[in-house]
Amino acid sequence: PDTILLLDGWKGVEKTLATKRVNVLKINADELRWLTGETELDAAAKTAMHQYMAPGAILAVTRGASSALLYSNTKTDASIQVTEFEITAVKALNPIGAGDTCSSVLLYALCAGNSAGDAFAFALAAASASCLNIRGAHFKAADAVNLYQSVKRL
């Protein structure tokens, strides 16, 4: 699309999501459960995809230092695909801002024309790299590139 609307939030966003104009919902697992009222993560993701996301949209779910999940559907098929990403563990100095780093790098990578999977993998690597810096949400590009090489899709 010419415009990509990324939403990184869960409180008070129901009206925005109900428009089905959000292309990317980036949210952590707990926030997704709270948003949908579902206790099981996969059920929460599927509820969010069906209730809020238009065909072709993606749902990027982070789980802290654990693996992350990318849910997507195509514009012609209502079925939902899920890809799990394993993130290399880092010795975190400061995790504050890692989620915001993930969102901003995800949007940047999508706008640059990367596939959703590649964009999310790089966003996760940048988020992990930001944890290596004592200043929140700052990272070295070289660290992000090195971590990107080790992100695994399961």
Q: Which residue(s) pair with 61 in the sheet?
A: 27, 69
Tell me how far apart the alpha carbons of residues 41 and 63 are, in angstroms, rounded to a whole number. 11
- The confidence score (pLDDT) of residue 3 equals 87
- The confidence score (pLDDT) of residue 1 equals 60
C-alpha distances in Å from residue 100, one per residue of 9, 77, 97, 126: 10, 31, 5, 10
Tens digit of each residue's pLDDT, the chain (154 residues): 678 999 999 999 999 999 999 999 999 999 999 999 999 999 999 999 999 998 889 999 999 888 999 999 877 667 899 999 999 889 998 999 999 999 999 999 999 999 999 999 999 999 999 999 988 888 989 999 999 999 999 9
- The confidence score (pLDDT) of residue 68 equals 97
**pTM for this entry:** 0.93
